[in-house]
Amino acid sequence: MTKHKPLRAWVEEWRALCEPKAVHWCDGSQAEYDRLSNEMVASGAATRLDGARWPNCLLFRSDPSDVARVEERTFICSTIREDAGPTNNWMEPAEMKALMRKSYQGCMQGRTLYVIPYSMGPIGSPIANIGVEITDSPYVVVNMHIMTRVGTKVLEVLGEHGEFVRAMHSVGAPLAPGQKDVAWPCNPDIQKKFITHFPDTREIWSYGSGYGGNALLGKKCHALRIASVQARDEGWLAEHMLIIKLTNPAGKSIYVAAAFPSQCGKTNFAMMEPTLPGWKVQTIGDDICWMKRAADGRWHAINPEAGFFGVAPGTSLKSNPNAMRTIQRNTIFTNCVLTPDNGVWWEDLGAPPAQGVDWQGKEWSPASGKKGAHPNARFTAPARQCPVIAPEWEDPAGVPISAILFGGRRASVVPLVTEARDWQHGVFMGSIMGSEMTAAAFGTIGVLRRDPMAMLPFCGYHMGDYFAHWLKVGRESRAEDLPRIYYVNWFRKSAEGQWLWPGFGDNARVLKWIFERVERGGSAVETPIGRLPAAGALDFSGLDMSAEEQAELFSVDPAAWRAELPGIREHYAKLGERLPAALREELSALERKLQG
Ligand code: SAT
Ligand code: MN
């Protein structure tokens, strides 16, 4: 155990309140992972997949009430209400704590309380950050084993006095003496679920859900919501971005970070196989990026995670062969179809099995016309298994970022790629980011949802202050040390409704232009919205595209852009007084340029 007295006292406090039958301090070992896996298979909570084709893989099925993050039950309980801003739910911290303590009272009866010391980032890296999660879910423990670095080594770094984020989790399903457990314990009443953050005291309290970001507290709760506040206070950036290494045919590499909202193919992009001969993309991370200014003045990034928690449906050898190769072993599947030969399947994976067991545990066949996997079914897989993981992905010093991409799904108006004139203009681009919805869960299909820097559900403080922090980062760095900023849109359609851009591995063509720009080559033209590739500057070689189609990808229609302005103004108005004046000025400047 640990000599860290405040940590021991914190665990003891929760033990007394939650009344578990036992306490287990996780050491992070393979033996621990195997023991918990076997226990869950024995209890019926998990199915072990075929050992030859899916070695050491498990399948779980969640309760139908517990299938995704619950944004409406997610709270930022800052001491001062205004600090949470208009985009977050808020409650006064003491009031929230009193309310939640009632739920936590006796909530672990009949269960084991697990203590998970974890590091977000390579253990001991100056960019990494330690947390400790308490949970009563062994499913959470094995997932945290994959998604973070867990165990004794973390306690060693923490020492006797180290700071850590306090992350408390319970599925909210106590067992009475003799009561049989269910496969997926949770509190099915949505009103009883809480995903709460206390940013001022670096605490997370989660209750009632066992799924994904609600329960694996190192991920969105710690690495984004709490870390964004730490980053603001300490002068760094905690972002919802993938990180890749891009290498040209001459062997020169740069590192690129990219923020896309959900359903824009972030994991696919992070593991892309470029169609351009000689170009190489390797993965550093697929979801979260922590960036700090290093001694050389440049912004160095780490992936704080150790695994991928990816959406299974849509993942295939066609859309993401490297993800498919990553998830062949040591992987946890949740809410996928179980096939008769003890494998897993999901929509768009390829030919479906004639029959199987769906995510709700019912007999299923493709002929039923119903989906077999839940649309938010997931795989949890170790990042080190990714065949294109960059060798330096665990470098404690991080990798220097040369370019940041923002983007969303837009059928019209927004060109394939636009370069920001400078950092402030790039922050403006990120602040107005939006994507058209493809799943009803996030809003009406086809409707534009503004999701600044893809941080809308993940920023732990006022979005206006968040933009101000980005601007401050720019003011405090030399221009040549800052990453260049780009806005991309892979999803533009022709007037006839056809995709204009093939996407996937062909996105490397856009990366090539960005590489050349960063290296001070690559020509560009000024437009009212920023710089676009000059004629002939984007490599279309080998693509069957007419000159008209190419032109359409890059067209900037002032009238269509003028029609965007009221929506942007409305979006800014919602953020209120704290919206930085510099961004209002950028908006006015855009307006003026579009008149001219
Ligand atoms: O469930 S997670 O928050 O980890 C993934 C997501 O919903 O973005
Ligand atoms: Mn994400």
**Following DSSP, what letter does each residue of 383-405 receive, concatenated?**
GGG-TTB-GGGG-TT-EEEEEEE
Listed as own residue / partner, the contacts of 67-72 with beta carbons closer than 8 Å and 24 or more positions apart are 67/211, 67/335, 67/374, 67/376, 68/211, 68/212, 68/376, 68/441, 69/195, 69/211, 69/212, 69/213, 69/214, 69/220, 69/457, 70/190, 70/193, 70/195, 70/209, 70/214, 71/457, 72/190
pLDDT one digit per residue (tens) for the chain, 596 residues: 799 999 999 999 999 999 999 999 999 999 999 999 999 999 999 999 999 999 999 999 999 999 999 999 999 999 999 999 999 999 999 999 999 999 999 999 999 999 999 999 999 899 999 999 999 999 999 999 999 999 999 999 999 999 999 999 999 999 999 999 999 999 999 999 999 999 999 999 999 999 999 999 999 999 999 999 999 999 999 999 999 999 999 999 999 999 999 878 899 999 999 999 999 999 999 999 999 999 999 999 999 999 999 999 999 999 999 999 999 999 999 999 999 999 999 999 999 999 999 999 999 999 999 999 999 999 999 999 999 999 999 999 999 999 999 999 999 999 999 999 999 999 999 999 999 988 766 667 789 999 999 999 999 999 999 999 999 999 999 999 999 999 999 999 999 999 999 999 999 999 999 999 999 999 999 999 999 999 999 999 999 999 999 999 999 999 999 999 999 999 999 999 999 999 999 999 999 999 97
Closest atom, ligand 1, to C-alpha of 262: 8
Catalytic residue chosen out of the listed positions 57, 107, 264, 459: 264
Sign of CA dihedral 156, 158, 159, 160: negative
Closest atom, ligand 1, to C-alpha of 212: 1
Find the 61 Cα to ligand 2 centroid distance in Å: 21
Is 289 a known active-site residue?
no
Residue ranges near ligand 2 (ion) with Cβ within 5 Å: 287
- Sorted by where each begins, the domain ranges of the chain are 5-45+71-235, 239-306+391-595, 307-385
The CATH code of the domain at 307-385 is 2.170.8.10
Ligand with the closest atom to the CA of 285: 2
239-306+391-595 and 307-385: identical CATH topology: no
> Who lines ligand 1 at CB under 6 A?
69, 212-213, 219-220, 262, 309
- Whole-model pTM: value is 0.98
Residue 203 to residue 77: CA distance in whole angstroms: 10
CB-based burial label for 3 (10 Å; 0-12, 13-18, 19+): exposed
Find the 250 Cα to ligand 1 centroid distance in Å: 37
Q: Which of 143, 219, 374 to mutate to test the pocket of ligand 1 (most atoms within 8 A of CB)?
A: 219
Closest atom, ligand 1, to C-alpha of 309: 4
Residues in the chain: 596
Q: Please tell us whether the domain made up of 239-306+391-595 is placed in CATH 3.40.30.10.
A: no
Where do runs of H (alpha helix) occur along 359-440?
423-431
Find the 228 Cα to ligand 1 centroid distance in Å: 16
Find the 213 Cα to ligand 1 centroid distance in Å: 5
Give the domain 5-45+71-235 fold: Phosphoenolpyruvate Carboxykinase; domain 1 (3.40.449)
